[in-house]
Structure 1
Amino acid sequence: MTQIEPIRLAELTTLQTGAAPERMVDATTEDELVAALQDVWADGDDWFVLGGGSNLFAGDLAFDGTVIRIRTSGIEELPSPHEGRIRLRVQAGHDWDALVAYAVERGYAGIEAMSGIPGTVGAAPVQNVGAYGQEIQETLVEVELIDEHAHEAVTVPAAELGLGFRTSVLKDHYGSAPQRRAVILSVTLDLAVTGDAGRIVRGEQLRRALALTSDQPVPLAWLRERILDTRASKGMLFDPADPDTHGAGSFFQNAIVPESVARALPPECPRWPVSPDLDTVTVIPLDAYQGYVPAPAPRSTDVKVSAAWLIEHSGIRKGFKLPRSRAGVSTKHALALTNRGGATAGEIAELARFIQNRVHAEFGLLLQPEPVLVDVEL
């Protein structure tokens, strides 16, 4: 590991806010990353790790602690116990989209719809990244991580990460601490080997985004190209020359609400059911079997509601800015808050609060921020 001259976080994050921290360390190997973390824990410093900087909203004052930049990389191909599949063990600092490109080029399917998502591989399970109905939890096998103040790393199965909609036990949600404070060192995915045959697209959101009308397999490379084009049209691919991309992606999460709450919203508000597990196995002991299987008990289904629709229909148009502010809503996507050039964290936070208040006043829902906030209050 190497202690370096601290760099302004505004230069290392896509939202382009934040001063230089008190200390900064680069870790280029897994061993260096573990050593850097253990040194910080031994000293009792405040700390956080920084990957691609695409999901971080840093405050204007200097962070009084140590920032550890995860700069590890590498992909290892491993056999899968499942026929027709392969496993990839990927270092936490590896660029996520570079991993997707690697998989698509080799005909490995399962993460192609997540093309163009910025950031690093280690951050992906933390918030269970996803796009167009595909999420990392569908292919994630396990992660190698080290818990705060632990002496060595452990391997944790995906089932123990509490993966949900843009969340896990590792995520630092605004207003609360993570259930498990740990740092991911590597990620293992299990992908289908499709080769040049491509794949049949099943997900409704992805089919709609690609305007697919048949069930014929489509090449992974074609699918990736279409996804990248779609993200670019929404300003979701970072471009130094385009202020619409100087943000943290979707600043607010789509709201997950009970069916009863969703029914109270205007019928034209886009929504998608958060489906229950339809493959749940019911086990009935033989001595209790009465000759029939009871019908499953009815249960309510949560619904995912479009935050972008809520924002626009609360009166916040694309390109909206508060007077004299250098922060604004993207001109391409209502969910993205952007730095239009020299905006402070205070200006972006002011805009976020204004949007939250407008949506709450109009629809009774309080939108939650998606990025990790460091020394910022909404």
Structure 2
Amino acid sequence: MPEATPVPLAQLTTLRTGGTPDRMIDATTSDELVAALREVWASGDPWFALGGGSNLFVGDEPFDGTVVRVLTKGIERMPSPVPGRVRLRVQAGHDWDDLVAYAVAEGLAGLEAMSGIPGTVGAAPVQNIGAYGQEIVQTLAEVELVDERTGEVSTVPAAELGLGFRTSVLKHHYGSVPERRAVILSVTLDLADIGQGARRIAGEQLRTALRLGVDEEVSLAWVRERILETRRGKGMVLDPEDPDTYSAGSFFQNAVVSASFARTLPDECPRWPVAPDLDPVLVIPLAAFDGYVAPPPTAVQSDVKVSAGWLIEHSGLRKGFKLPRSRAALSSKHALALTNRGSATAAELAELARFIQGRVQAEFGLILQPEPVLVNVEL
């Protein structure tokens, strides 16, 4: 078993909080990772798997259990069953942005708008990461995982992961447990092989972020550099010299609300439609079929995704806001990021998060939900 000397989780998480676990295991191969998880599960002790630590908010107290660090790396290029596409099988501990850089250099499209997102590849499907209208669900083919209940390793198609807006059946949402408790070992992505030439950008949200016209053509490398530049301007690319990046990225999720609720918000609040399923599969048992199939609804109102950052700022909490005597603050560049301005405790960050939730609820009637996984800490 690849045992490691436990260190404070504040050294391994981008929010820079977290006490020292009782035990730590560093798994550098899939076999080591599976063996470590099976051993920990058999013991019944508390545990969690740690990748890049960029989507974790860990409490100040020592963690009474085992942390399994996922340090596996590697990219394998494979043929795709679809002409004009390529598959990449990537180990769970591989750095996400390193994967995006590789794909762009190889002329493989589908990940470029997610440049600069911190963390590891194995964590990406868990919350269906995305940016500027591009999400991993659009290119994910399958994952290899080990199931906590059985200890078995299996390959699971993306369609069985329940991928939705920043969610999946694997995600530990605040206040709930995952529908399926498992750890991803590798991820297989199916990407378009378009080369290094310029092309038209299809997504409106991405075109808007890049300030491109409908018919303008740009290369994958151009898109990546502009996205990185945009994220740096918001403090969303890790930089040891910039305290604005001592965060878990967007601390609160952009809220998905009904169209009717969205109409109660100010017109200026940025919003994006969440497309409904206009062609659902209808299954009628043969014994119950009477020859009549009801027509689909003529008007389907889509849900609406609204900007949590806008709601925070317009509840009166500007960029850089902090509570008196606190070392936790909103980023000076992006109102959606809670930052550690220097040795802030988890308690200080939690206090700020609760204050923000209260202000937004009082102003707009909406309770923002945290995006990171919370360990040993409550809001």
Q: TM-score, normalised by structure 1?
A: 0.96
Counterparts of 1:330-341 in structure 2, within 5 Å, are: 330-341=331-342
Equivalent residue number for residue 155 of structure 1: 155
Per-residue CA deviations over 1:290-333 (Å, capped at 9, x if unaligned) read 9xx94544333110010001000101000001000000000000
Residue 322 of structure 1 pairs with residue 327 of structure 2: no
Question: What is the rounded CA distance, in whole Å, between the counterparts of 1:124 and 1:162 in structure 2?
Answer: 14
Q: CA deviation at 1:2?
A: 1.2
Equivalent residue number for residue 233 of structure 1: 233
On the 8 A contact 1:109/1:199 being kept in 2, the answer is: no
Q: Measured at CA, do residues 282 and 24 of structure 1 come closer, stay the same or move farther in structure 2, by a change above 3 Å? A: closer
Q: CA deviation at 1:147?
A: 0.9
Q: CA deviation at 1:282?
A: 7.7
Question: What is the rounded CA distance, in whole Å, between the counterparts of 1:32 and 1:140 in structure 2?
Answer: 25
Residue 310 of structure 1 pairs with residue 344 of structure 2: no
Q: Report the residue type matching 1:330 in the other structure.
A: S
Per-residue CA deviations over 1:121-171 (Å, capped at 9, x if unaligned) read 000000000000000000001100111042320111111101110000000
SS in 2 for 1:164: coil
Equivalent residue number for residue 192 of structure 2: 192
On the 8 A contact 2:255/2:308 being kept in 1, the answer is: yes
On the 8 A contact 2:89/2:187 being kept in 1, the answer is: yes
SS in 1 for 2:334: coil
Equivalent residue number for residue 251 of structure 1: 251
Q: CA deviation at 1:34?
A: 0.1
Question: What is the rounded CA distance, in whole Å, between the counterparts of 1:357 and 1:306 in structure 2?
Answer: 17
Question: What is the rounded CA distance, in whole Å, between the counterparts of 1:198 and 1:118 in structure 2?
Answer: 27
Equivalent residue number for residue 174 of structure 2: 174
Question: What is the rounded CA distance, in whole Å, between the counterparts of 2:303 and 2:214 in structure 1?
Answer: 29
Counterparts of 1:116-135 in structure 2, within 5 Å, are: 116-135=116-135
Q: CA deviation at 1:347?
A: 0.1
Q: CA deviation at 1:255?
A: 0.7
Equivalent residue number for residue 299 of structure 2: 298
Residue 43 of structure 1 pairs with residue 75 of structure 2: no
Q: CA deviation at 1:227?
A: 0.3
Question: What is the rounded CA distance, in whole Å, between the counterparts of 1:241 and 1:126 in structure 2?
Answer: 29
Question: What is the rounded CA distance, in whole Å, between the counterparts of 1:332 and 1:217 in structure 2?
Answer: 29
Q: Report the residue type matching 1:309 in the other structure.
A: W
Question: What is the rounded CA distance, in whole Å, between the counterparts of 1:151 and 1:355 in structure 2?
Answer: 40
Counterparts of 1:1-378 in structure 2, within 5 Å, are: 1-278=1-278, 288=291, 294=295, 296-378=297-379
SS in 1 for 2:63: coil
Question: What is the rounded CA distance, in whole Å, between the counterparts of 2:200 and 2:76 in structure 1?
Answer: 27
Q: Report the residue type matching 1:8 in the other structure.
A: P
Q: CA deviation at 1:19?
A: 1.2
On the 8 A contact 2:196/2:221 being kept in 1, the answer is: no
SS in 2 for 1:31: helix
Question: What is the rounded CA distance, in whole Å, between the counterparts of 1:41 and 1:335 in structure 2?
Answer: 36
Q: Report the residue type matching 1:308 in the other structure.
A: G
On the 8 A contact 1:107/1:198 being kept in 2, the answer is: no
Q: Report the residue type matching 2:108 in the other structure.
A: Y
Q: CA deviation at 1:216?
A: 3.5
Question: What is the rounded CA distance, in whole Å, between the counterparts of 1:150 and 1:105 in structure 2?
Answer: 39
Q: CA deviation at 1:217?
A: 2.9
Q: CA deviation at 1:280?
A: 5.2
Question: What is the rounded CA distance, in whole Å, between the counterparts of 2:232 and 2:344 in structure 1?
Answer: 23
Q: CA deviation at 1:199?
A: 3.4
Per-residue CA deviations over 1:20-61 (Å, capped at 9, x if unaligned) read 111000000000000000010111111000000000000000
Which moves more between the two structures, 190-199 or 233-242? 190-199
Per-residue CA deviations over 1:186-227 (Å, capped at 9, x if unaligned) read 000000000122432111111111000142431100100000
Q: Report the residue type matching 1:41 in the other structure.
A: W
SS in 1 for 2:339: strand
Q: TM-score, normalised by structure 2?
A: 0.96
Question: What is the rounded CA distance, in whole Å, between the counterparts of 1:335 and 1:318 in structure 2?
Answer: 9
Question: What is the rounded CA distance, in whole Å, between the counterparts of 1:94 and 1:227 in structure 2?
Answer: 21
Q: Measured at CA, do residues 295 and 244 of structure 1 come closer, stay the same or move farther in structure 2, by a change above 3 Å? A: same
Using the aligned pairs only, state the percent identity: 73
Question: What is the rounded CA distance, in whole Å, between the counterparts of 2:282 and 2:60 in structure 1?
Answer: 54
On the 8 A contact 2:24/2:68 being kept in 1, the answer is: yes
Runs of 5+ in structure 1 lacking a partner? none
Question: What is the rounded CA distance, in whole Å, between the counterparts of 1:107 and 1:215 in structure 2?
Answer: 20
RMSD over aligned Cα atoms: 1.8
Q: Measured at CA, do residues 25 and 311 of structure 1 come closer, stay the same or move farther in structure 2, by a change above 3 Å? A: same
The number of aligned residues is 376
